[in-house]
Amino acid sequence: KIQHSIKQLSTINVEKFVTLCVFSSTRGIRSIPSLSRFRRLRYLWINNNKIQDLTFLKKNYCLTELYLNNNELTDVSGALNHLHVLQILFLHNNQLGKLGRTVKELKGMISLQTINLFHNPLAQEQDYRLYVIYFLPSVQLLDRKAVTQRERESALHLYNHKRSAVVHSIAFGRRVNKPLGTVVRSGRHTQPAKRLVMPSGSGFGNGKNKEPFENPEDAILLRAMTRSLMEFSCLDWNKVATCRERRLENKAEEPHEKLTVKFR
């Protein structure tokens, strides 16, 4: 690793540092000039400084690892949403206070796998971890702890209750018993779930042209709540005596074995 002071940044030969750039943290850097010349920059360490603004990153689209921990950041809005290939992001030990605003900035990072947000005021908000897991589905490691399947299911149930009910119904073959007007509650907000409105002419077997639902998930939910039980049976007829064999009594009767499968 090669370290450069902030005063030497303007004299760096760009051709030698297309994939790695490390800043010295001994003086507590407060501001950094634009890094637009480093268009192929992939790894950047600026941790353990006093950085408060990230506008110098606006032209660095190739970053895959970004270490901004232990700084004085209070907001990242408008500074990181262009980093679509970023995989690792460290933001812990800063002063980020708005969870919704911060996560919104990170939603475009479709390749993000590891993120640290602990030791920020936003990490104290209720359901913080589930909120991040739901709105950043690509994340595999959050605050040094692996994201589990149970956490993903809990996040889906908390922030998209209707979809959770549909997925649960389809996956386990169960009828959805809860009314469609169920109120969705979470630690961050409480709002009524959208009530399913069937379009006119959507009745079954009425001979009319079916009008499509505005939301395809509504059609899936309606089907999940109205589907009937189907039963299939299988019988080995080779073990059943024919009428002639019964008359001649030349074939012993065997107990019948019937296999029945039920599903929705």
Could you give the number of structural domains in the chain?
Answer: 3
Q: Compute the distance between CA of residue 225 and CA of residue 223 in angstroms, rounded to an integer.
A: 5
pLDDT 10s per residue in the chain (264 long)?
334 555 555 555 655 555 555 555 455 788 888 888 888 889 998 888 899 999 999 889 999 999 999 999 999 999 999 999 999 999 999 999 999 999 999 999 999 999 999 999 999 999 999 999 999 999 999 999 999 999 998 999 899 887 777 766 665 554 444 444 444 444 555 454 455 455 554 444 444 445 556 666 666 666 666 656 667 777 777 777 777 777 777 656 666 676 777 665
Sequence-ordered alpha helix ranges (H) in 10-160: 99-106, 128-135, 149-159
Residues 180 and 106 in one domain: no
Instruction: Please check whether residues 85 and 199 belong to one and the same domain.
Output: no
**Report field, pTM of the whole predicted structure over 0.95:** no
Q: Are residues 98 and 220 in the same domain?
A: no
User: Of 105, 125, 158, which residue is a domain's last?
Assistant: 158
Host domain of residue 177: 173-226
CA-to-CA separations, 55 to 49, 69, 79, 202, in angstroms, rounded:
16, 16, 6, 53
CA nearest neighbour of 63 among 6, 5, 13, 111:
111
Q: Which backbone phi and psi does 131 adopt, to 5 degrees? A: -65, -45
Do 82 and 14 belong to one domain?
A: yes
Give the pLDDT score at 184. Answer: 45
Residue 37 tokens, joined: 């010349």
Q: Please say whether the beta carbons of 195 and 182 come within 8 A.
A: no
Could you tell me if 191 and 253 lie in one domain? no
Residue 250 located in a structural domain: yes
- Is 246 within a domain? yes
Find how far residue 23's CA is from the centre of its chain: 33
Do 72 and 152 belong to one domain?
yes
List the beta bridge partners of residue 65: 43, 88
Tell whether 75 is covered by a domain: yes
Q: What is the CATH number of the domain that holds 150?
A: 3.80.10.10
For residue 19, tell me if it sits in a domain.
yes
Q: Which of 125, 158, 191 is the last residue of a domain?
A: 158
* Cβ-count burial 210-241 (b if 16+ within 10 Å, e if not): eeebeeeebbbbbebbeeeeeeeeeeeeeeee
Whether residue 20 is found in the same domain as residue 103: yes
Q: State whether 25 and 146 are in the same domain.
A: yes
pLDDT given at position 137 = 94
Q: Which of 53, 83, 84, 85 has the alpha carbon at shortest distance from 68?
A: 53
**What is the rounded radius of gyration, in angstroms, for the C-alpha atoms of the chain?**
30
Residue 14 and residue 72 share a domain: yes
pLDDT (0 to 100) of residue 97: 93
- Asked, for residue 166, whether it belongs to a domain, the answer is no
Residues 22 and 69 grouped into a single domain: yes
Claim to verify: residue 179 and residue 151 sit in the same structural domain: no
Spatial separation of the C-alpha atoms in residues 199 and 104, rounded to whole Å:
33
- Examine residue 167 and state whether it is found in any structural domain, yes or no: no
Yes or no: say if 154 and 185 are a contact pair by the CB < 8 Å rule.
Answer: no
Q: Are residues 212 and 258 in the same domain?
A: no
